[in-house]
Amino acid sequence: MERTRSSKFRRQMKLPKLVQAATQFEYPFPITGFLLNAELRQDGVIHGYIYNDTKRRFADGTHISTALVTYIQVELERHIAHTQSGSSYVICNYYFPSGEIKKTHNVSIEFVETDHILH
């Protein structure tokens, strides 16, 4: 199984502390980027600020909308959103503008036992 050491991602600016902490994990699959202030919308996409975009589409701190999220995987302390387009985003924190969690479009959260190590 291929592992991606996220701290090897390119850096263009100083990363927020929550993003820095998330890059210290080894992930069992390629990570597309890290999302700060992730808002899971009712239409099944996530809005948030991306950092370390491995596809090099967005500069650090750009506000994006993901493709439709198929599921969110929970490994250790990290939530990883997987999308229909095949991207995998580490969610560094969530943003709830109304202060409440609302039902979303068929998104499931899957808890997975892993042996990933914090470095």
Residue type for 48, please? G
Structural domain includes residue 31: yes
CA distance 75 to 96: 22
Structural domain includes residue 44: yes
- From the list 67, 20, 18, the residue with the least C-alpha distance to 47 is 67
Q: Are the C-beta atoms of 33 and 15 separated by less than 8 Å? A: no
pLDDT at residue number 107: 53
Q: Above 80 in pLDDT, residue 104?
A: no
Q: Are the C-beta atoms of 27 and 4 separated by less than 8 Å? A: yes
| Domains held by the chain: number | 1
pLDDT at residue number 103: 53
The residue range of the domain holding 108 is 16-112
Structural domain includes residue 21: yes
- The predicted model scores a pTM of 0.75
Structural domain includes residue 90: yes
Query: pLDDT tens, 106-119?
Result: 554 454 454 443 33
Mean pLDDT over each residue of the chain, to the nearest integer: 80
Structural domain includes residue 11: no
